[in-house]
Amino acid sequence: MSAELTVLNAENLAPNQKGVQVTERAIKRIRVAMAKEGISPVEGGLRLGVQGGGCSGLSYNIRFDTQPRERDRVYQFDDVRVFVDPKSFIYLHGMVLDYEETLMRQGFNFINPNSTKSCGCGSSFS
């Protein structure tokens, strides 16, 4: 079986194109966290996904992975790679991943145009 890997560069994506976007703030935070976790930017990256559950029906899943899987979409943002599996891509296309650091909150924000409602914590949606 051949591995189907789609590599997309951030500069090739228009703002209204249906890919996954990552802000500069989020890229910086991902870079720092990958270094702390010992994840090689050459082979590994950040995995974004969706799973059933949460107070609104679906919840976001974010973690590091040492390499992409077969059929993953791989987005390249400078030296940071983001992996999205085909099932999650259905819910994440057009999404922007941002990072917020304020006095009240610190963490990643999923700005998802496919979400019809979300919970107060921002980690679950439908």
> Hey, what long-range contacts does 23-27 have (CB within 8 A, 24 or more apart)?
23/96, 23/97, 23/98, 23/99, 25/98, 25/99, 25/100, 25/101, 26/97, 26/98, 26/99, 26/108, 27/77, 27/78, 27/80
- How far is Cα 33 from Cα 25, in angstroms, rounded to an integer? 13
The mean predicted confidence, pLDDT, of the chain is 82
Q: What pLDDT digit, counting tens, does each position of 29-81 carry?
A: 999 999 999 999 899 999 999 988 766 678 889 999 999 999 999 999 999 99
**If phi over 0 gives left and psi between -120 and 50 gives alpha, with beta otherwise, what is residue 113?**
alpha
User: Where is 90: in which H helix or E strand?
Assistant: helix 86-92
Would the pLDDT of 22 be above 60? yes
- How far is Cα 39 from Cα 82, in angstroms, rounded to an integer? 13
Structural domains of the chain sorted by starting position, each given as residue range(s) with its CATH number in brackets: 6-119 (2.60.300.12)
3 state DSSP class of 91: helix
| pLDDT, position 13 | 45
Would the pLDDT of 4 be above 80? no
